[in-house]
A and B are shown apart, each in its own frame.
Chain A
Amino acid sequence: MTVLIDLPREAPVVGPGVTLRSLSEEVSNRVLLPNTPRWWWIGFALGMALLLTFVVQLIWLFINGVGIWGINIPVAWGFAIAEYVWWIALASGGTIVSALFFLTRSPWRSATNRIAETMLLSAAPCAGLLPIMHLGRQGLFYWLFPYSSVMGVWPQVRSPLWWDFVCLLCYILMSIMYYYTGLLPDLATVRDLARTRWKQVFYGVLALGWHGSARHWRNQQTVYAVMSAIMAPMVISVHSVVGLDFAGGITPGWHSTQFPPYFFFGAVISGTALIMMLTILVRWGYGLEDVLTGYHLNALAKVMLVGSVMLGYAYVWEAWGPIYGSDVAERTQFFYRIFGFYAACYWGKIVLNIVIPQLLWLPIVRRSEVLLFSISAGIIVGMWLERFVIVIPSLSHGYMPSYWGVFFPTFWDWAALAGTIGLFLSLFFLLLKLVPIVSMSEVREIVAKERSR
């Protein structure tokens, strides 16, 4: 009955062969040794090629305006907004794994948190750029800053759109600071293991002279715990405010009080799914099977399953509200969503986000990297469909039948999608080459604990 049997209760978090020295060397060597694996070059080249698409798309957009996309009246929000929500959800997942599970002291978080945060820092710029691209006059985006008040332009601070801007700005800045606080001791390890002069100088400067004294560690531990306790509610607020962007509008299909938690559930499942894919990639590519073990994949899969169940709960309420309520427009909108022109997207998200992830109840699925990778990829596509279904069918089927219409993506819509993926891949692969991808100082504690057991 191995189908139904979970990992043994005392399954090791790290493999038995891992010592403090082998851990530091294996992880540091990935950024120190000159030979770069071929899969890295392939991934990076793919990222750069798509990034080039992004640049071309941006230039064309700046010349011609947002009319190059399929958006029009009534569907004035298209891919850019749907993908903004998609990217910010993927990014938020990084903080959820990193900060929330630091507070619960989950041992599996220690080896995966750097991957999660690297993913977050690569995804957040994609999220940040899309709403700016969507502005009619991109050059004036800085009017959102409170600075514009001094120029005699007053942003409407009572609007969820302004809240969202503030949240995203603060979120990116805070994530960088949180990342760096956790990274500092590892940069010192890389500095100490570096053999060439310029790498010693490069990592020496980045490590700021960290020498791991008792005083340093105690300060770092204290401040990191407080920061985690701040980042966890922060990320919930960020994604809830994204939900408020929609809930604040009276469009049928958006005007719902459940949106803030609904969006947050989506962040849990999609972010964890991307972390799962990247963890499997790093584990395979860097040969870190002993550091990123089945224990980690099992734990991530369980978080993903919880996210799927929570999202299913939100989907039930999304259906129940219009059916039970008395608002005709809401009901019409909902039936359009599930049977209308975009019905395939609706059912696609149900299958990919709710039905297929239920396989994760089976331990045998949680032990198979191929299945985990495929299910995660399906979830990421499914979450993209969910964002599409929230934004586009709602606008295309509003209160007035005379105001109904459909949206078709153009070539440039797809180019924007491909381009942001390129930006993400380029940044992620670059960071993969520059910073240690596993938090060595934290895994050392686990190694020491396991060794003394």
Chain B
Amino acid sequence: MSQIFGIVGVFDRPEAVTDAAKHLRSLGFRAMDAYTPYPVEGLDQLLRPQRRMMLPLVMFAAAVAGAAWGYFIQTWDEVLNYPINVGGRPHNSWPAFIVGTFEFMLLVTIAAGLFGFLASCRLPRLYHPIFNADAFGRASVDRFVLCVEARDPSFEVEHLRRIFERFGAERVAEVPA
């Protein structure tokens, strides 16, 4: 058999993809992913039930670090490096440092969110074998694509083709690696 990445079924309704994915999982398929033009609720949980979202935790950790960084910059300036008496206020006049601390905290959190998001999506990655799939361009417009990858131990083209067609796929195609 020639090298292939997997087999795709192209559907025109999100429910069809969800049903097909549910069925394939019950048959024991694990190496699969769905490509949709808009987020389909619950699809990722269906495909990867064990997956825990780390992103909010990463962003929270970044928020703590950012706040510490922002406060440190100001304390270092005003308390440690060059303490100067301004209007009789204490050197470590923390209420006046809150705004700076807050802004640095949010900046670091958003940055961690963006870069964490890209890292968890394995982006940037300009080439991916799924781009070879027939009519994959429509998965970002109006079609819902389900792909079972060849690395799945029970991968078998004809079997999958029949399943995809049973769930109403308008086309089924092999994806060259």
Contacts and interface: CB of A to CB of B under 8 A. Distances in A.
A154 B82 contact: yes
Interface in B76-117: 76-78, 81-82, 84, 86, 89, 93, 96-97, 99-100, 102-104, 106-107, 109-111, 113-114, 116-117
Contacts of B103: 163, 166-167, 170, 234, 237
Contacts of B46: 214
Contacts of B107: 170, 173-174
A154 B130 contact: no
B159 interface: no
A189 B141 contact: yes
B142 A20 contact: yes
Nearest to B76: A149
Given A167-B99, A205-B126, A211-B128, A448 B117 contact: no
B34 A178 contact: no
Given A205-B126, A208-B125, 12 more contacts: A158-B89, A167-B103, A181-B114, A189-B140, A209-B128, A213-B35, A214-B46, A215-B33, A217-B44, A218-B45, A219-B121, A227-B113
B39 A158 contact: no
Given A162-B100, A223-B114, A445 B39 contact: yes
A223 B116 contact: yes
Nearest to A190: B140
B59 interface: yes
B137 A211 contact: no
B36 A212 contact: yes
Given A158-B89, A177-B111, A193 B116 contact: no
Nearest to A154: B82
26 contacts: A149-B81, A154-B81, A154-B82, A156-B86, A166-B104, A170-B103, A170-B106, A177-B113, A181-B113, A191-B140, A192-B136, A192-B139, A205-B126, A211-B140, A214-B43, A216-B121, A217-B40, A218-B39, A218-B44, A219-B53, A219-B121, A223-B55, A223-B113, A223-B116, A227-B114, A237-B102
Nearest to B89: A158
A295 B151 CA distance: 49
B113 to A, nearest CB: 5
Contact of A211 (B44, B139, B142): B139
A159 B75 CA distance: 14
Category for how many chain A residues contact B? 35 or more
Interface of B: 14, 33-40, 43-48, 51, 53, 55-56, 59, 73-74, 76-78, 81-82, 84, 86, 89, 93, 96-97, 99-100, 102-104, 106-107, 109-111, 113-114, 116-118, 120-121, 123-128, 130-131, 136-142
Contacts of B38: 185, 217, 441-442, 444-445, 448
Leading 4 A-B pairs by shortest Cβ distance: A20-B142, A208-B124, A192-B137, A158-B96
B113 A215 contact: no
B139 A222 contact: no
Given A149-B76, A166-B100, A218-B53, A210 B123 contact: yes
